[in-house]
Every structure is written in C-alpha cells, then in structure tokens.
Amino acid sequence: MDKITFLGAGSTVFAKNVLGDCMMTEPLREFEYALYDIDPERLEESYLMLSNINKNSNGQKARIVKYRDRREALRGARYVINAIQVGGYEPCTVTDFEIPKKYGLRQTIGDTVGIGGIFRALRTIPVMLDFAEDMEEVCPDALFLNYTNPMAMLTMAMLRASSIRTVGICHSVQVCVPQLLYRLGLPQDHVKYRIAGINHMAWLLEITRNGEDYYPEIKRCAKEGPVYKPYTKEMLKDYPQLLYPDYEFTPEKHDDLVRFEIMKQFGCYVTESSEHNAEFMPYFIRKNHPELIEKYQIPLDEYPRRCRIQIEHWKQLKNQLVGNEKLTHTRTHEYPSYILEALETGKPFTFAGNVMNDGLIENLPKDCCVEVTCVAGQGGIQPCHVGNLPHQLAALNMSNIGMQQLTVDAALTRSRECIYQAAMLDPHTAAELTMDEIRSMVDELIEAHGSWLPEFK
C-alpha cells in the first residue's frame, strides 16, 4: 500500500514539515498519510492542518486519515516515521531534571546521554518495541524512520530486538557545517566534508573548500573568537530546525564555546551543540568548579526551559497552522521526503543515518549504533564504510557507547543492575557522584517514574 504512517502526529509543527514535504514530492503526492497520536486534541489539530495543506498545495491528491487504533494506522504501511515523546514535559522531563539536581547533578538537555537520557530511553524503548511487534504483524516490510531521542539507544533497541528495518535520522549532521561556517563568517560555497561517529557526538573528520583543507582557516577564525550572528530569515528558511534551540538565546550563549574547546583539545569539531556536548563529557559541568559554567556559557536546565517556551509558542502558533484554511507549504530540508523519494524513484540521496555498526567504523564495537553517511536509492538504504576514527575521537565515543549498550540491556532484560551500571559509566554522572549516590539516585528516579516505567527486578 502507498501509505506513510506518522507516530506521534500530535507534534504538529514537525508533522507539517515532514509530511508537508512528502506531499510536495511528486512520487509521494497520492499516498495515504496515516496520523496516529494518543492525544486526540493534538491529533485533530494535525489532521486539520495537513488537510488544508493537502487542499491548497497538493490539489487534494493525498488521503489524510487520523487513527486512534495504532495497529490500523500501521496496517499496510510502506514507511513509518516516529516522533513520539513518552512522558512529556510533565511529569517525566521534570522528574529527569529535578531528582538528579537534589544530588548536585546538573544537566543541560538530558535527552540523549546522562541520567536524563538513560531514563528517557527506559520509558521509551518498551513503547517502541510495541510498535515493532505491531509492525511485524501488519507491515513487516515497512521502513521505520526514527526521529525520537535518545536516538542511538532507541535505534539500537529496535535493531537488536525486532526484525523491522530501522534507520535513525537527526538534524545535527544536517546543520553542523552550515552553522559552523555561518557563525565564523566563512564562505560556504564549494565545500565538501565527511562526518562520522555516534549520534550527537559525530565528528567533522574532513572539510575542504575548492579542494583544499578548510580546517586551518576554521581553527584560525575560532581561535580569534567565534562570531555571533543572529540567524537570517533565509538561513531559517533553509534550515528551520535551527530555530528551536535558539529561543531567547543571548549572544554570549551563541558563542558555541564548548564545541570550539573540544575542537581545540581533540582536533575535530563535533556535530551537536555546545549545550549537548557539555554533558557528554566530564570536563565542563562540575559542581566543584562553578566557574566553568560562566567560562563556557553553559545553559543549565536548558531543555525544561525550551519545553516551557515551546508550550507557550504553540499557543501563539496554533491559530496560524490549525485554523488557517489557506495554509500552504514549501518543501524544507528535512530528510524524510528526500529519502522516500529516492526509495520510490531510485534517484540516489545521501544523508546521515543512525544504523548498527556492521564494520562501518572499525574501531568502535560492532554492536553499537553509529551515525554515518548513508545512500538511499533503488537498492534500499546503504550505509557507507568509514574505517577507523582517530583514536582520541573513538575514545570519546566509547565513553558514551558503554552507557548506551547497558541502558538497552536494562530495557530488554528489566535489570535494575544494568541501570546502575549504565549510570556509573556515564562520564558526567561518574565525574560528579559516588557509586552509592548513583544507586540511590537511580532508585529514587525509578520510584518517581511509577507507571511510566516497566518493573525492574
């Protein structure tokens, strides 16, 4: 069946970009777009919005259908796009931040690594595997594109515990080089680059302009001081995903100081933002060194702040999208429509994907999830071989991979001991707390999550 199912369709702005893009793509215009969400109000809002786009920009060619029955939403789907958030801002995100804070463990984003990332994975993996179980029965050949964080852990769990073809896709590689060069005021034409690593901690391994190594110029400009430039309308038009991290940011917080320090010390620029990478490593958020927060302009409790802002922003945006009967859409740079177009037509499309490391990065474990260049086309999706990462970059990736693997182990086996071990191996958590404190914090988090978590023995 020509059917695209969107799980978590209540993410209305994201659904507009992803599914609106698909409706603007010739081979996908006449598909059924199956919308599923557990929140009936948000589901209805997305349905009305996409129906208007279909009418005004697609000549009513697509079939927009809302479902309350997940299995029926999935039945016969060719492609499934996942953008769920289990537990939401309240109560779960608040819990992920407030309980660790009692122990002196501060976070910035907490959705990918750290104690917040671990618990987000633990409550999300069982739901994802329920999706997989349904898919194995009603659309076993469908491609599952995952956008939900923690990307590496969720994708790893799907690929370890189900037969569903799964690829994780994320914005960080997509915006890394444009963002870096824009902030430094450097030309972006005739630029080529190569990126590989793990999600939110992949590395700009090579970058050239006009065939010449561009890294010396990048490092020279970064040493002189990152340039703050507010994003132009054109930049946000091309890369709308840049907007969301930047609500109410001051120039000082835009200087990307953590990433530039990582590049200075380890030789390569990292794909994801400074606020993310501050908690991927043990060097930046230290309760015994509070001066580092000011030095590197690290926004503590940043993700809860963004959640509150986005909740308020949605109140303003809702009428523009949901109640606008003249709503139209222009195709964005989001990956899915281009991936699906390539699979439908055979015309190759290259993107950054999260897949199991089947010999792709040779000095990372085979049973971890890596982020590498992938090519979609007539033969499906083919990840590209990377070879070895520089040893220091592989070591930084490895410092997070063990935590990811143990978190997936915990979710698949219901082992509380694996949760303790995952938290003890997390670089930031281990740098701040004793092993006894970590065990106590994990116990308190499990208790606070209540019915949001399966029972751990």
Specify binding-site residues for Mn(2+): 170, 200
Q: What is the spatial distance between Cα 265 and Cα 126, in angstroms, rounded to a whole number?
A: 39
Q: What is the spatial distance between Cα 85 and Cα 119, in angstroms, rounded to a whole number?
A: 12
Q: How many helices, marked H, and strands, marked E, lie in the chain?
A: 18, 12
**Could you say which of 171, 254, 329, 449 is catalytic?**
171
Burial 420-433 (b: 16+ CB within 10 A, else e): bbbbbbbbbbbbbb
> What sign has the CA pseudo-torsion 352, 147, 308, 315?
positive
Residue among 254, 255, 296 nearest 278 (CA): 296
Catalytic residue flag (residue 428): no
DSSP-based three-state secondary structure for 454: coil
Task: Give the residue ranges of the annotated binding site.
Answer: 149, 170, 200
Amino acid letter, 235: M
The CA distances from residue 355 to 75, 156, 158, 263, 427, in Å, are 25, 8, 10, 25, 23
Q: Kind and range of the H or E element at 257? A: helix 257-266
Task: Give the residue ranges of the annotated binding site for substrate.
Answer: 149
DSSP assignment string, 111-128 = SSSHHHHHHHHHHHHHHH
Task: Name the E strands within 276-408.
Answer: 349-356, 369-377, 380-383
Q: CB under 8 Å to 244, separation ≥6 — which residues?
A: 306, 310
> How is residue 270 written in tokens?
């990292």
Show which residues are catalytic.
171
